[in-house]
Structure 1
Amino acid sequence: MTTGIAKTFKTLAESRNDGAVAILGRILDGQSGMLAREATNALLARSGKAAPREILVRWLRLDPSLRALAAAKPGRLTGVSRDALLAADRPECESAAAAILECDDFEQFSLLAKLVEDDRYPHSDLVDNLLVSLADRLYDGATSLDNYVRQRELQRVRNHTVETLQPLVERYGKHRRRPALEAYCALARRENSVLRRVLREPREAAHEETCDVLLNCPLVGVIHLLVSFLDDPYAPLPALEALARRYDRPFLKELTGRLASPPPRAVVENLRRIESIVWLGTDFAVIDDLDEVSQGGAVRLAAASGMQKPEVLDLLEHVLTYGNVGGRRAASNVLPGFDDPKATELLRKALDDPDPEVQANVLAHLRPRNVQGALATLVAMVESPHDMVREAAREGLEEFNFERYLRTFDSMDADVRFTTGVLVKKVDPQALHDLLRELTAMSRTRRIRALAAAEAMEAVVEVEEPILELLRDSDHMVRAAAAQALGSCPTTAARDALRDALLDRSVVVQEAAENGLFRLAEQVRQQRGDHDLKTQNAIGAVEATEKSGRTYVLDRLSAATLARLSLGEEASR
């Protein structure tokens, strides 16, 4: 901008001659771009109401960039907008309403509240729309995280506005203007005493309409208010009823998002009070249309609610069959909480789900429910390519661990040692590490027991090196046990070590080495039986005992009982 033009607009902005206002107005009408911007700034810089009125009367046809200049100066149009609202001219009122909204002129709430109760005001529809829209903008600004300082300021404005609108709620029977309730509910918090009284007392004039606002009003503030009642330990029943009946998309997104993770206790207590949820009935069209997060939240909502168990199980079955990943994961997570034959069948069905998290969620619950083939399934899942599935399978087979196996090893007969050892090696990821520790223990008894356990677990090949070292142990009984174990290790190193042991100074060791070489030769002609066969034998033994209605652990069993069973201590279920 040239110096001359700048001086001209500076003069027009500072001149005491009211004719300057008319000149600037004509520039706005006939110019655009830089000249229009300078004219707008000059009008905003002048004192009095005449200059901003020139902007207001042209508001609806002003370029958005020029309106933004006015909006950047809060309060500059407040006075003339107030006068325009009180005027009888409809176009002027419409311009004022548009300017108030675009400039976030929240000071006008007090005037709007008075106009709501003025039954002689001719533009009530305009006031109603402005009141609702301005409340929506205030809520959006007060809850925005973009500017913390601005947010705190607008929170104070929000609190003051709620106090301003509160009398409209209390005197609703006189004016019957629903938009006043919508604006109030959009800004009020659930702790508000007047709001709680209106919801709890059917005799209140605003009771029925306020309940309908919670049920149908699309304002974001109203939706957030309704969902916030879930966290209220003393939530009014009408609010919970509205929660159960409402199912527009924005509301469902907010509600199910609130339940994207397992809900806290206060939320669960409120959900139990809801015995029927309209959109979770027999028609699953609504839930089928939800995204992964929302569908998962809907499943948690149904499971925690007071809905009839058959209805919830029907929903879970539908989601497990046709739902998206988020819904199926949530369904598999809540399903174990239902003690019902159908729930057990759904758990079994969930094992075939392609998502590993769904499989992992149900694995640990198979054996407690006596699902047919549970043990075989868990053992098979130990070799899953997914970490979470393997971990869940091991949790379901927690009694098959090396520590417990070793503790009862001496009381087991040979068959039980082998069948259980195969499972322990397969299930316990620390088994080989713990076995190595035992093989290098200071105690002679522990080393001998570890050698026998290595053979029973078919783990001799994996721990061959320390066993070869034990073949040179100072104790001849340890050397003999090592020779015995190497008889099941078909490697060149093991054969060479056993041949050398034939020259051991101890006859016991020589005999053990000879026996070991003989066994290795036999393996060449006829394999002793592969790993999978031993696993199946062990599984069959355990399942046979579980069908009898008993549970066994690896503690304090007699040798006679252990000969019959695949693992430890017998205890009644």
Structure 2
Amino acid sequence: MKSPLELTFEVLANSRNESANEVLLTAFQWENGPLFIESLKTILARRNKEAHTAVLQRWHELGEPERQLILKSHSRISGALRDAILSEDSLLFTNACQVVEHIEDYDLVPNLVALSEHTTSPHAKEAAALVLRLTERLSALLKKTKKQNETRDPRVYRKSVLECLKRSLERYRYHKRPELLEAFSQICESNDEFLLTILDDPHHPCFKDMSHAFASSANSAVIDLLLKMLQGEKVPATILSIVSYRTDRKFICRMLEYCDQAKSTPLSRSLKRLRSLSWLNVPSNRLSTFCEADQVLCVHMLSASGVSPDAVLDSLEELLLAGEPAGRAAACEALAEFPGDHTNHLILQAVYDTSPPVQAAATRQLRDRHIPGTMPLLSDLLDGPHEEVRNAAREALAEFSFENFVKNYDNLSEEARQTTGSFVQRVDEEYLALLKNELSAQGVKPRLRAIEIAQLLEVVPFVVDDLLTLLTDNDHVVRAAAAEALKYWPVPEVQAALEIAALDRSGTVQNAARNSLAVFGSFEQPTSPDLVEARQ
């Protein structure tokens, strides 16, 4: 059952008698207690602008529970809010601004913009600041998913707010409110015609202040707009100048993210048009001061830009000497585009870096740079402790492939065959399989050459089965060469095969087989576990 007080306020809430407002306002003058709370609830339930204005007048005195009651009733007090914003009463205006900001009432933006344009109004500057804060909130709403904005569509608000701001900026020469410019830039699209018109015309009233906003604002929405414009098909020269000019860390890091995420052709073209980046000359922005991931992105961005080679080289050198492992590796890879003795010296230094990826990046470049004395170094790196570096050395020495060795074999001296063969064994991991293919080649000459190579590389134990097969080859020269080569593997199986070959119809084959059998006595039976395993 309702109490008498509750019944009284229920009657007042439903009453059409204007005297009810006077009663409620009298009760609202109490500072606290049930009478105060019930009168506030009842005033908010009624639609009376005068009473709502009285509530706004006391906003600064209210506690959080009372303020929440007002915020939940914002749709009923919208008229009072509008009047309060236009009021000359500073306290009422300030209270109304706080409520508008809390409820994010974008419908009142036109009123705030109109007030901002009145340069003689004492509230103009505060109104402009509120417009800027509201567009910041709207920008954040626009970034949320549709599901996160279930109660309202921010795109509808953006359209109306943008139209209002554009009309105001057309009168910019009269009010000069930079807050309205920045508010506009926070919610407009990168291809907005009005924005492009401003940036393409140095004589436009908004040009100077808009450029300043882009060059100095730390607001994420403004920075994003600036960087999105870099991805356009036609990028204003003003935007390129601003991007080149900015040196603040927040902007740089955001630009690195964009360059990493957006691999578009327009962005690549824009980066190539950047002839300088002022932040490269700021000591606090040295590449080595960035986090490891951003160091890599810095290298990629600089490599894709049109910044002078000398400036890029200086930055890469600093990073190579003082950066994190991933950054040093990226810098070393980027140095591949820079010839010269100084760069060669940096690469030689990087070969001895403590990080294997950096060593590997440097190793890949040694051969192509034609640095004197690097062959012994590459030879050592082929036997290094790190697989990544060994693989890089193989890449650098890719010319020492088994295919090339076979192709040039007949033109090499005996000494060159020994040296080249040693490299082939360590560079081409498939050389044994390829040698086996050569041993079964169609022509006689390739098979004879393959037998000779097997002896040269001392890998007879690894191709015994192939050589045993060649003991029955159609060509007696091949059979004789195979019998000669088998003397390097004195095992019973080979001995038995040679004894049969000693009865070959060709005297040449017989002699070769007997000679191999004759030298078997000077060899011990192979007991090396590695050879036995390889043989199996």
Whether the TM-score (by the shorter chain) exceeds 0.5 is: yes
Aligned to 2:246: 246
- Match of 1:259, SS? helix
Aligned to 1:496: 492
Aligned to 1:105: 105
Aligned to 1:258: 258
Percentage identity across paired residues of the two chains: 29
- Match of 1:404, SS? helix
- Match of 1:122, SS? coil
User: Aligned partners of 1:475, 1:42: CA distance in 2, in Å?
Assistant: 115
Residue 15 in structure 1 maps to residue 43 in structure 2: no
Q: 1:177 and 1:351, CA in 2 relative to 1: closer, same or farther beyond 3 A?
A: same
Q: List aligned pairs for 1:314-463, cutoff 5 A.
A: 314-383=314-383, 388-410=388-410, 412=412, 414-439=414-439, 447-463=447-463
Per-residue CA deviations over 1:314-358 (Å, capped at 9, x if unaligned) read: 222111111223432332232222234323332333323333333
User: Aligned partners of 1:24, 1:92: CA distance in 2, in Å?
Assistant: 20
Bigger mean CA offset, 66-75 vs 107-116? 66-75
Q: 1:16: Cα distance to partner? A: 0.9
Contact 1:229-1:240 at 8 Å conserved across structures: no
Q: Gaps spanning 5+ residues in structure 2: where?
A: 525-536
Query: What amino acid does structure 1 have at the position aligned with 2:97?
Result: A
Query: What amino acid does structure 2 have at the position aligned with 1:453?
Result: I
User: Aligned partners of 2:261, 2:454: CA distance in 1, in Å?
Assistant: 45
Q: List aligned pairs for 1:124-203, cutoff 5 A.
A: 124-145=124-145, 147=147, 153-203=153-203
If the length of structure 2 is used for normalisation, what is the TM-score?
A: 0.80
Aligned length in residues:
513
Per-residue CA deviations over 1:96-139 (Å, capped at 9, x if unaligned) read: 22222222222222112211112343212321221111111111
Contact 2:109-2:161 at 8 Å conserved across structures: yes
Contact 2:198-2:206 at 8 Å conserved across structures: yes
Contact 2:286-2:315 at 8 Å conserved across structures: no
Contact 2:116-2:125 at 8 Å conserved across structures: no
Q: 1:135 and 1:282, CA in 2 relative to 1: closer, same or farther beyond 3 A?
A: closer
Bigger mean CA offset, 248-257 vs 8-17? 8-17
Q: 1:426: Cα distance to partner? A: 1.4
- Match of 2:230, SS? helix
Q: 1:179 and 1:420, CA in 2 relative to 1: closer, same or farther beyond 3 A?
A: same
Contact 1:316-1:331 at 8 Å conserved across structures: yes
Q: 1:75 and 1:429, CA in 2 relative to 1: closer, same or farther beyond 3 A?
A: farther
Query: What amino acid does structure 1 have at the position aligned with 2:350?
Result: A
Query: What amino acid does structure 2 have at the position aligned with 1:163?
Result: E
User: Aligned partners of 1:337, 1:202: CA distance in 2, in Å?
Assistant: 38
- RMSD between superposed Cα atoms in Å: 4.1
User: Aligned partners of 1:440, 1:95: CA distance in 2, in Å?
Assistant: 95
User: Aligned partners of 1:510, 1:516: CA distance in 2, in Å?
Assistant: 10
Q: 1:441 and 1:72, CA in 2 relative to 1: closer, same or farther beyond 3 A?
A: farther
Contact 2:244-2:274 at 8 Å conserved across structures: yes
Q: 1:213: Cα distance to partner? A: 1.0
Per-residue CA deviations over 1:291-316 (Å, capped at 9, x if unaligned) read: 22333333344444444433322222
Aligned to 2:209: 209
Aligned to 1:567: none
If the length of structure 1 is used for normalisation, what is the TM-score?
A: 0.75
Larger Rg: 2
Query: What amino acid does structure 2 have at the position aligned with 1:366?
Result: L
Contact 1:71-1:102 at 8 Å conserved across structures: yes
User: Aligned partners of 2:8, 2:409: CA distance in 1, in Å?
Assistant: 100
User: Aligned partners of 1:326, 1:128: CA distance in 2, in Å?
Assistant: 47
Q: 1:254: Cα distance to partner? A: 0.6
User: Aligned partners of 2:27, 2:430: CA distance in 1, in Å?
Assistant: 86
Aligned to 1:530: none
User: Aligned partners of 2:373, 2:122: CA distance in 1, in Å?
Assistant: 78
Query: What amino acid does structure 2 have at the position aligned with 1:497?
Result: E
Contact 2:53-2:84 at 8 Å conserved across structures: no
Q: Gaps spanning 5+ residues in structure 1: where?
A: 525-573
Query: What amino acid does structure 2 have at the position aligned with 1:135?
Result: T
Q: 1:392 and 1:123, CA in 2 relative to 1: closer, same or farther beyond 3 A?
A: same
User: Aligned partners of 1:429, 1:16: CA distance in 2, in Å?
Assistant: 93
Bigger mean CA offset, 246-255 vs 328-337? 328-337
Q: 1:145: Cα distance to partner? A: 4.2
Bigger mean CA offset, 210-219 vs 90-99? 90-99
Q: 1:147 and 1:440, CA in 2 relative to 1: closer, same or farther beyond 3 A?
A: farther
Q: 1:148 and 1:497, CA in 2 relative to 1: closer, same or farther beyond 3 A?
A: same
Contact 1:480-1:512 at 8 Å conserved across structures: yes
User: Aligned partners of 2:9, 2:56: CA distance in 1, in Å?
Assistant: 22
Aligned to 2:230: 230
